[in-house]
Amino acid sequence: MNQNILSKFPKFNFSVLPTPFQKLEKISLILNRSIYCKRDDLTGFALGGNKTRKLDFLIGDAKRSGADIITAVGSIQSNFCRIAAAAGKVAGIDVMLLLGGKPSTKPTGNLLLDHIFGATLKFIDSSEWGVWEHESEMFSEKLEKEGKKVYRLPVGGSTPIGALGYVHAFLEIMEQSQSNGINIDTIMHATSSAGTQAGLIVGKAITGWKGKIIGMAVAKNKPVLLNEIYKLASDTASMLGIKVDINDVIVDDAYRGAAYAARTKECEEAIKLFAHTEGILLDNVYTGKAAAGLIDYAKREIFQRNENICFIHTGGTVELFE
């Protein structure tokens, strides 16, 4: 289904696709709604997650460009940096991770995996995304002056090339749901660096699907995200010779808590519900907050009773082991 539109872009097949698309039977009964889950926590590479789909295209583009080193930037427990470290190593490209935070003598979670995957690490003593990006740009320029061919990845790998991973994911969701006689009305997921939602919106434009894509913010506020997602979706669509509608960009920031990675009671309750009823693990940073919104939408009847809702599990469960 419309897969040929992506065929001109070089791609690594790190992701094991398609990922499962399943009905959450017990949660559907509890919430009195038809809830389905796209299991992108099971993308099958370096413990999986949505960033694997982005890196399929990003590493393909890095190889095409002749890069001999990749720089990737993120928090000290970045899911994206963990998978970038593994992807670069498998593709035969050196990886330098620039991580916001201080080094640990006993690394855990994603930081431990960064070491295992053999990335070179540089730490940035700041919690500000803008500072991370600036340091990444400066360091990449330094490497280029030393004669390196650098392929720089921003936070979350959220570039038009990276967003193609979720154009592909959207087409996959439509194919899986429709082949099972299910018409999805709403897609809901955690949104942060804009790439996942931008790709989904472009997929919607390609197919003409009439449903809603709702991004549940976990860090930035709604006005900032609306602008970032629309710009990235527009740039991605332009590569494909199509346009997107600004009205398709929907963000809710009511469930993000006090700050990025700040725990909320609703998030903790959502994690327990998914674990106890479906055996599915969510995390405190991304999917738990998005699921808290999903549950609240059902309880407040924002979702109609006859709606079919697809919740995208974007991974991140390594966070539980920090």
pLDDT computed for residue 126 by the predictor: 87
Are residues 42 and 171 part of one domain? yes
> What residues act catalytically?
78
Are residues 260 and 205 part of one domain? yes
Please answer whether residues 191 and 215 qualify as being in contact, where contact means their C-beta atoms are separated by less than 8 angstroms: yes
Are residues 30 and 70 part of one domain? no
Provide φ and ψ at 189, rounded to 5°: -160, 165
Are residues 233 and 86 part of one domain? no
Which of 106, 132, 157 finishes a domain? 157
Q: Is the peptide bond before 103 cis (omega within 30 degrees of 0)?
A: no
For each of the chain's 322 residues, which pLDDT tens digit applies? 476 899 999 999 999 999 999 999 999 999 999 999 999 999 999 999 999 999 999 999 999 999 999 999 999 999 999 999 999 999 999 999 999 999 888 999 999 999 999 999 999 998 888 899 999 999 999 999 999 999 999 999 999 999 999 999 999 999 999 999 999 999 999 999 999 999 999 999 999 999 999 999 999 999 999 999 999 999 999 999 999 999 999 999 999 998 887 889 999 999 999 999 999 999 999 999 999 999 999 999 999 999 999 999 999 999 999 8
Which of 116, 141, 157 finishes a domain? 157
Concatenating the DSSP letter of every residue in 97-122 gives EEEES---SS--HHHHHHHHTT-EEE
Give the domain range for residue 270: 3-49+159-321
Are residues 107 and 17 part of one domain? no
Supply the Cα-derived Rg of the chain in whole angstroms.
Answer: 19
What is the spatial distance between Cα 31 and Cα 28, in angstroms, rounded to a whole number? 5
Are residues 137 and 10 part of one domain? no
Are residues 267 and 127 part of one domain? no
pLDDT computed for residue 67 by the predictor: 98
Please answer whether residues 173 and 308 qualify as being in contact, where contact means their C-beta atoms are separated by less than 8 angstroms: no
Are residues 169 and 111 part of one domain? no
Q: What is the CATH number of the domain that holds 123?
A: 3.40.50.1100
pLDDT computed for residue 261 by the predictor: 78
pLDDT computed for residue 130 by the predictor: 87
Distances (CA, A) of 121 to 102, 107, 151: 11, 12, 16
The count of domains in the chain is 2
Question: Edge to edge, what strands does the sheet with 69-75 contain?
Answer: 120-124, 94-100, 69-75, 150-153
pTM above 0.85, yes or no: yes
Which of 157, 188, 207 finishes a domain? 157
Task: With CA atoms as reference, report the closest residue to 162 among 196, 112, 118, 129.
Answer: 196
Are residues 55 and 29 part of one domain? no
Are residues 209 and 145 part of one domain? no
